[in-house]
Amino acid sequence: MLRDFISNATLLIASFSMMGVLFKDKPLRFSSPLSSKLLWGLFFGALGNILMLFSIQINSGSIADLRHLAIVIAASFGGYIPAIIASVIIAIGRFILFGFSNAAILPAIGALLIGLVCGAISPLRLSRTLKAFVMNLCALLILSIVFIIKIDDSQTLKTLLTIHYLISLTGGFIAYHFFVFVVDSNEAQYKLKDTEERFRLIAEYSSDMITMHNEKAEYIYISPAVKEIIHYEYPELLGKKMENFIHPEDVERTNEMFDKALHEGVAGSTYRYRSSLGDYVWIESTLKSVHFEEDGSKKVIIVSRNITERKLTEQKLQEANELLNRLSYMDGLTGISNRRYFDETLSNEWANSIKSNSPITLIMFDIDYFKKYNDTYGHPTGDFCLQTIAGAIKSKISDNSDNTLCRYGGEEFALILPSTKTKDGMKVAQHIQETIQSLRIPHTSSKIADTVTLSIGLATIVPNSSAIPQALIKMADSALYLSKTNGRNTITAYQ
C-alpha cells in the first residue's frame, strides 16, 4: 500500500511538473481566459483517469485512488469550469477504463458531485489553502457515501475509510503545495519574461541610450540609440570597458560614479565620451545597479543622453555672464577697473593683510588742471587723455598681478599695492609720474607745465581688526590733497 501511495504521489508531482512546463504561458487563475480553463480542465480530467489506473491496494478486496485530488486542485486554482470539466472526463473515463456497469455508475456520479461541490466552494471568500482543504474534505465525504453504499462489511468499511482519509489528506497536502510551487515558479518566470520584454521594448524604442554593464564596467547590452548618440555599432562596444571611451580628464570621476552605483544603488554624472567620429560629446548618465539572484551577480543599467548642445549653450551663457561680470567691474571709458571693483578689491586685500599681518599701500593720483584741459581741448580729447594715461600706467604695472589699478572717479585714479611698504610705494609712484611725463601730452592751459602732469598721494598701513579700509582711503586722499596744495606735480606720502 505504501508503495502504491508513493507511486500515486510521484505521478501527481510528475504530472504537475509537466503541466507547468506545457502551460507556462497559460497560467491557471480564476481570471484566466475560458480557453485556458478548458485546457487545464481536460488535462486534470486525464490525470484523474491515470490515477484510477494506479489504484492503491488497501487489502485483498479493497482499493482506493486519488482521482478526486485532480478535481480539487482544478477548482482551487481555476474555479468551477476546470473542476466541472475534469469531473465529467473522470466520470466518462470510469466507464471507458472499467466498462459500463451498475458498479461503475455510483463512482461516476460521485466524481460529478465532487466537481459540482468543489465548483460551488471555489468562489467563497476564503484563502486558497483553506478552500482546497475544505474541498478535499467534501470530496472525501462524497466518496465515503459511495463506499458506505457499496460495502456491507462494517469492519472492511471502517478500515477502508480510515486509510482512504489518511492517504487523501496526505496526498492532498503534497499535491496542493507542489502545485503552488509550480504556479509560483511559472508566475515568477512569466513576470521575469514580461519585465525583460518591457525592458527590451523600452530600450529598443527609447531615444536615450540604455546600456547594461557587468561589475567590471564592460558592456553586455547596448540599445539601438547608440548609433544616434555616439555613432557606434553594437559589436564595437560589446565586451569593452566604458573607460576606454571616456575623456582622460573624466575617467576618474566616471569610475567613481560607477562604483557608487554598484555599491549604493544609484548614481549620476556628466562626462565627455569619444564617439566613433573621433570627437568628444557630452553625455549625461543615470546609473542603477540590479542584483541577479540566479548567479548572485550585480549589473549596472545606465540611461544616457547626448547633452552637447545643452553644454554648449551653458558654456556660452557662462561666458556671457563672465563678460557681463567683467563689464560690471570695468570702467567703460578707460578699460581699467572701476570704483566698484576698487571697493571690493581693497576690502579683500585688507582682510588678507590682517591675516598675514602685512602692510598695504594705496596710491591715489589725478591729472593736474584737468578741467582747464577739457575747456581748452574739448571733452573728446579729454577722454582720449584719460585713456592714454590709464593705458600707460596699466602697461607698466601689468607684470605684477597683485597690484590693482582703478579709475576712482573723474580724472582721479587709485592703485592698490598689497604687501608693499611706504618706500616701495614711493618708487612705484615715482615710476608712474615719470611714465606720464614721458608721454608729453600737451597742456597749454596748465599753470605748472606745458604737458600733462600728476599729483600723487600715498599711504601705507598694517591693518588690524579694529580698523576699516576707509581709513586708508582717507589717509591717501589727505596725502593727495597735500600734493595739490604744495604746487601739484608732486608726490606726498602720508605721515
Sheet of strand 209-213, all strands in order from the earlier edge strand to the far edge: 219-222, 209-213, 297-306, 280-292, 266-274
Same-domain status, 173 and 231: no
Q: Which of 110, 120, 62 is nearest to 90 (CA)?
A: 110
CATH of the domain at 137: 1.10.1760
Give 433's contacts (C-beta < 8 A, 6+ positions apart): 453, 454, 456, 489, 491
448: left (phi over 0), alpha (psi -120 to 50) or beta: alpha
- For residue 372, being part of any structural domain is answered with yes
Q: Looking up cell 455508475, which residue turns up?
A: 105
Give 301's contacts (C-beta < 8 A, 6+ positions apart): 210, 211, 212, 213, 287, 288, 289, 290
Same-domain status, 442 and 461: yes
Among 311, 341, 357, residue at a domain's last position: 311
CATH of the domain at 351: 3.30.70.270
- For residue 201, being part of any structural domain is answered with no
Mean pLDDT check: name the lowest of 183-197, 234-248, 300-314.
Answer: 183-197
379-412 burial, b at 16+ Cβ within 10 Å, e below that, comes to eeebeebbeebbeebbebbeeeeebbbbbbeebb
Same-domain status, 385 and 363: yes
CATH of the domain at 306: 3.30.450.20
Q: Is 254 exposed, middle or buried (0-12, 13-18, 19+ CB in 10 A)?
A: buried
- Choosing from 196, 314, 411, 434, which is the catalytic residue? 411
Q: Is 416 exposed, middle or buried (0-12, 13-18, 19+ CB in 10 A)?
A: buried
- For residue 233, being part of any structural domain is answered with yes
- For residue 465, being part of any structural domain is answered with yes
Contact at 8 Å (CB) between 157 and 122?
A: no
Same-domain status, 88 and 10: yes
Same-domain status, 226 and 106: no
Nine-digit cell string for 176: 496542493
Structural domains in the chain (count): 3
Contact at 8 Å (CB) between 50 and 11?
A: yes
Mean pLDDT check: name the lowest of 162-166, 232-236, 350-354.
Answer: 162-166
Task: Kindly report, residue by residue over 145-198, the tens digit of the pLDDT.
Answer: 877 887 777 777 777 777 777 777 877 788 777 777 777 776 666 555 555 566
Same-domain status, 159 and 210: no
Same-domain status, 59 and 192: yes
- For residue 449, being part of any structural domain is answered with yes
Same-domain status, 385 and 288: no
Backbone angles phi, psi at 400, to 5 degrees: -110, 100
Same-domain status, 306 and 351: no
What's the whole-number average pLDDT of the chain? 85
Q: Looking up cell 567590471, which residue turns up?
A: 216
Mean pLDDT check: name the lowest of 55-69, 86-100, 145-159.
Answer: 55-69
Among 245, 280, 311, residue at a domain's last position: 311
Same-domain status, 191 and 213: no
HSE-CB for 59 with a 13 A CA cutoff: 12
pLDDT at 137: 87
pLDDT at 189: 61
Average pLDDT, stretch 115-128? 88
Same-domain status, 130 and 225: no
- For residue 446, being part of any structural domain is answered with yes
Q: Is the model's pLDDT at 217 over the cut of 60?
A: yes
Average pLDDT, stretch 446-455? 95
Give the percent of the chain with pLDDT over 90: 41
Average pLDDT, stretch 269-294? 88
Distance, in Å, from the CA atom of 469 to the CA atom of 459, rounded to the nearest integer, reads 12
Q: Is the model's pLDDT at 308 over the cut of 80?
A: yes
Among 261, 277, 311, residue at a domain's last position: 311
pLDDT at 56: 58
Local confidence band at 27 (pLDDT 50, 70, 90 cut-offs):
confident
Q: Is the model's pLDDT at 440 over the cut of 90?
A: yes
Average pLDDT, stretch 124-134? 87
Is 412 catalytic? The answer is: no
Nine-digit cell string for 381: 580729447
Mean pLDDT check: name the lowest of 66-70, 421-425, 461-465.
Answer: 66-70
Q: Is 447 exposed, middle or buried (0-12, 13-18, 19+ CB in 10 A)?
A: exposed
Contact at 8 Å (CB) between 337 and 326?
A: no
Residue range of the domain that includes 482 = 329-493
Give 111's contacts (C-beta < 8 A, 6+ positions apart): 48, 67, 68, 71, 87, 90, 91, 94
Give the percent of the chain with pLDDT over 70: 87
Same-domain status, 151 and 237: no
- For residue 318, being part of any structural domain is answered with no
- For residue 240, being part of any structural domain is answered with yes
Contact at 8 Å (CB) between 359 and 460?
A: yes
